[in-house]
Structure 1
Amino acid sequence: MEGPLGAGDLLAAVRAVLDGHGGAPARPELTVHGPGQYTVRVGGDRLDIRSRPLSDQPPGTLDPVLDGPGARRIVLTASGAPSERARDLFTALTEAIGRRARCYTAAEAAAIAAGMPLTDRYARPEPALAGWALIFRDHYVENSVGFLLAMERAGLDPEWIFALSKGDRTQHRERVHSWFLRRGYASDTLDNSVINGTAGAAEAARARAVDAQVADFVRRAHAAGRKVLVIDDGGLLAQGYGADGPGPRVDAAIELTVSGLKRITAAPGELAVPVLNMARSQLKSRLGYNEIADSCVRRLRAIVPGQKFIGRHVLLLGYGTLGARAARSLRALGCRVAVVDTDILALITAAEDGFETHRSIAEALDRQRPFLILGSSGGTAVTAEDVPLLPDGVLLAGFATKDFSVLTDGYPGATAQRIPHVGVRYDLPHATTATVLGDGRSLNLFEYEGIANRGYDAYRAGTLLAALALCRDPERFPPGLHLEPVDRIIDDAGLFDAYYTQYLCARSAPLGTGAFAGTAETSGEDAHAR
């Protein structure tokens, strides 16, 4: 196992496991040979634990952290033919040490918090949080860690936080999960494929088990006299947690994405709870999508480092808020970008922004042979009728899950070959190939951290402000979707002014934005809760 696990924390993890395996017939005996060097004897069996530092390892967080133990390799061995009890102990030690090795250190958590100074600024104590529980469903990335730590600093009890991953293969999802468990949160996955109705049998079965945990969490919170807030992309509300029905109902929600708005609209039953609409807020539209588009283009170029971009034809499907920004970024790079959109006003806007435009994919591919097609439509961008028209060897980069689902859900006659860390190549029945980059989901979240912490800092700060306002006075918001109050909450808090001062003002001297993080002052288990 490998991770930033110092000798003291390693010894603590070993002792915690041994304490749980004490008693008859023979209590395990621990011998400490030196820092990180231990032997455990259980009956006549011997288990050895050895650790050593690893040099020249890349940072385990977006910002390099100077404090902390550094990465170490930990080897656990069993001698001879161990008994069943020794094997059970071996397994328990492996799981406990591995989980602790994956977990963020206190210095790393402090660095994540320091990298989100606006979120930290607004994490002021809010007494109303003492009466709330939170279900937070989002990507398992560092800015989610920073957001939930801010909710803690504002007064939310970690015991009453249930974090759910949306199932994307983000780079450090296992580290985030381990950290959440160590903080005392419940943590699991409710995959977007389940919400969209495309999950396989195994994932659907797991989702039912997770749904039972969520329902139990809501019931326990209500029994303890707490209201329940959901921060999500509409997944839980689409499952009925925001409407009157036989199951438990949450008390309020914050919607993060446009796709979530669509899920809420399509969900059966009337909304019976207030939902604050962050997805359409000025904050996300004016600031958030710039950062999302930047992360999409950065990830795209990184995943195919051998490709030439400058001067080549690119086809963009969908000229919405995200697509428009991605198109401008690629044009600035030197790409020759054409746009397809079925919305005539979006097409007019793209044309007047100087892009070649087409009403259909067929029309576009009749005039050019792009090496790359980007999808940002949020729907099924490429249909079965379009597939035979695709140029041989084309790369398909989706920034919304459904864009290239015609291939990822199974195209008749196609064979798929997974390319590790790149995507899936499809040999099509038309004697051509196409490669879907990533895993068919949002490419900027495929084995990647997505948006920089400082890039998403303002959006997380705005979400925090909305959550505090909603918990402080839930009766102020009747059931249904609310957009205007979100913009007003953010304006009243002065978030845009703080954003400008923190990141853009030439004479500002912001704190917590250095290239390197972690000093003696930020070490210690609870340093992040400064």
Structure 2
Amino acid sequence: MSVSELEPGLAPGDGVVADPHPLGLYEVFEGRLGPGELLESVRSVLDAGAGDPARAGAVVAHGPDACTVRLDGARVDVRSRPLPHRGPGTLDPVVGDPGEQQVLLSVSGPLTDAVRTLFDALTEDLRQRTRCYTDAEIASIVAGMPLVERYATPEPALSGWALVFRDHYVENSVGFLLGMERAGVDPAWIYALSKGDRTAHRDRVHAWFLRRGYRSDVLDNSVINGTATEAERGHALAVDARVADFVRRAHAAGRKVLVIDDGGLLAQGYGTDGGPSERVDAAIELTVSGLKRIAAAPGQLAVPVLNMARSRLKSRLGYNEIADSCIRRLRAIVPGEKFIGRHVLLLGYGTLGTRAAHALRALGCRVSVVDTDVLALITAAEDGFDTHRTVAEALAHRVPFLVVGSSGGTAIADRDVPLLPDGVLLAGFATKDFAVLTDGHRDARATEIPHVGVVYALPHGATVTVLGDGRSLNLFEYEGIANRGYDAYRAGTLLAAKELCRDLGRFPAGVHLEPVDRIVDEAGLFEAYYARYLASGRCFPAASEHGGDHDAR
């Protein structure tokens, strides 16, 4: 809720703004706060302003659910009350969680500069505290990633590295970065960047990263893909300058810099000689789209890049979880829709599309497949699906209620738009499949449906609905993949980072796949995965039994 100023009621004096009301300023926050955090917030803000003579003379009175500060004849109150239970704020339920509180910050009396400064500082501190994960929630995230916990053993070489991590702001990113800390990366030398997806708890992740001591920003994928608005491009320039400064300062401090990313930073020149940005020292690539960006980037790649995107770990384990999360999100976003027995058109029969097609058929859907690659069509046909070479051909045979995009490219072309049936749902499991609409169609009229997607009225009289925001559907107002589902992939990335930073000289410039598979095999990650999740009985201790410091605050 934004700051509210009501009708003026007092005459202003020197250094005084007219007092609008007994509640001259107020803010309302909602979030999880532990016992004593209101008083802790007030005291930390007052201590930070100890050099201010006016603030130093502030008087604090407090009770179990309220604090009062008297300053310059004004009264600043912070009060809280418990809210009805709304369920856990993390994927796993939390034992001992303090529950949600509603906090009111208000001012009555003259609004001097000192009072307004205090109010603004308390607003910022309370906003971050109420958004931030609690210690109990962080412990639940760590416990939900036991393979990361298992392999996050100290690696001395990491103490000399800085890390730029660009990925989705979800819980498994929190668990991964904590694992990197335990392995030896100083939290003061971690720069986290969100890819800009509307994940469910991105504000909580951002607040916790800042509280932990990381730097945290957004570098939106639309900027990398060239579809950003003017405002997004302006923000990206500022972020790029901050990242470049972070890399420069790391090098000046004698540190090397590792990037873990989807190719966005390397596409901007951070991995090439003579590029527009400060060069990093090594990278780990997480996505196939990132590999394509690296290949298309100007200049010659001058740093080693470990290819997690095409590793056996991601191909054999990761995509099953991604497909599962996409299907779960699809069902949840249209809970009133019937799936069983209905026709679905799936665009792209690659690694993700194959798993999605089988999952949809398991629900009872009748699935047709379109792919431009003949071998993919052969595979789909021999898997028992109807197959077509083009969208036009497929739509001439069937009228689907749902079109699923899993190609990772532009799956619906401008020429296909007039062929779309009225009322069809478009679900993108990979970004860009429906960019012909989401990037702005000259003849389509768009109407947003909050929490669902965008309805497009098309020139031929049909209306179609793009579910979500045109990006990967499993990341639209959702947490994406379950922590235990991505645990192995995050653990493999951690293992790759440890070896790359420990023995950088063994890796020449270029993209490397074989070392990733070797690192995973030598660490016994598949054995540990099977033992932890699939074998009968528990074969090694759960994460919570390893101990360790997971303090969130």
- The question of a shared fold, defined as TM-score above 0.5 by the shorter chain, is answered with yes
- 1 CA distance for matches of 2:302 and 2:550? 40
Aligned to 2:169: 140
Aligned to 2:422: 392
Is 1:221 matched with 2:250? Answer: yes
Is 1:71 matched with 2:110? Answer: no
- 1 CA distance for matches of 2:491 and 2:54? 55
Aligned to 2:465: 435
Aligned to 1:320: 350
Change (3 A) 1:170 1:28: farther
Letter in 1 for 2:129: R
Select which of 285, 307, 314 maps to 1:255: 285
Is 1:17 matched with 2:41? Answer: no
Letter in 2 for 1:214: V
Write the deviation string for residues 265-320 of structure 1: whole angstroms up to 9, x where unpaired: 00011110000000000000000000000000000000000100000000000000
Q: How far off its partner does 1:62 sit?
A: 0.5
Change (3 A) 1:344 1:55: same
Q: How far off its partner does 1:528 sit?
A: 5.3
Write the deviation string for residues 34-84 of structure 1: whole angstroms up to 9, x where unpaired: 112111122011111111222322101001111232211111112256334
Pairing of 1:87-166 with structure 2 (within 5 A): 87-166=116-195
Pairing of 1:48-59 with structure 2 (within 5 A): 48-59=77-88
Aligned to 1:492: 522
- 2 CA distance for matches of 1:528 and 1:184? 12
Write the deviation string for residues 395-439 of structure 1: whole angstroms up to 9, x where unpaired: 100012210000011112211111000001111111110111001
Is 1:205 matched with 2:234? Answer: yes
Aligned to 2:25: none
Q: How far off its partner does 1:161 sit?
A: 0.5
Write the deviation string for residues 225-255 of structure 1: whole angstroms up to 9, x where unpaired: 1110000000000000000015311000000
Q: How far off its partner does 1:507 sit?
A: 2.9
- 1 CA distance for matches of 2:222 and 2:297? 16
Whether the 8 Å contact between 1:418 and 1:424 is mirrored in structure 2 is: yes
Gaps of 5+ in 2: 1-28
% identical aligned pairs: 72
Whether the 8 Å contact between 2:343 and 2:365 is mirrored in structure 1 is: yes
Whether the 8 Å contact between 2:85 and 2:99 is mirrored in structure 1 is: no
Structure 1, 138-147 or 17-26: larger mean CA deviation: 17-26
Write the deviation string for residues 166-209 of structure 1: whole angstroms up to 9, x where unpaired: 00000010110111111111110100000000000000000000
Change (3 A) 1:188 1:28: farther
- 1 CA distance for matches of 2:427 and 2:342? 15
Is 1:421 matched with 2:451? Answer: yes
- 1 CA distance for matches of 2:426 and 2:113? 50
Is 1:405 matched with 2:444? Answer: no
- 2 CA distance for matches of 1:238 and 1:473? 25
Q: How far off its partner does 1:88 sit?
A: 2.8
- 1 CA distance for matches of 2:347 and 2:110? 60
Q: How far off its partner does 1:98 sit?
A: 1.1
Aligned to 2:474: 444
Aligned to 1:37: 66
Q: Hey, which bits of structure 1, 4+ residues long, moved more than 4 A?
A: none
| Greater relative CO (CA pairs within 8 A, separation 6+) | 1
- 1 CA distance for matches of 2:250 and 2:126? 32
Scaled by the length of structure 2, the TM-score of the pair is: 0.92
Gaps of 5+ in 1: none
Whether the 8 Å contact between 1:113 and 1:528 is mirrored in structure 2 is: no
- Provide the secondary structure at the position in 2 that maps to 1:248: coil
Select which of 259, 271, 290 maps to 1:242: 271
Pairing of 1:275-290 with structure 2 (within 5 A): 275-290=305-320
- Provide the secondary structure at the position in 2 that maps to 1:485: helix
- 1 CA distance for matches of 2:256 and 2:55? 47
Instruction: Please provide the CA RMSD for this pair.
Output: 1.6
Q: How far off its partner does 1:510 sit?
A: 5.2
Whether the 8 Å contact between 2:90 and 2:137 is mirrored in structure 1 is: yes
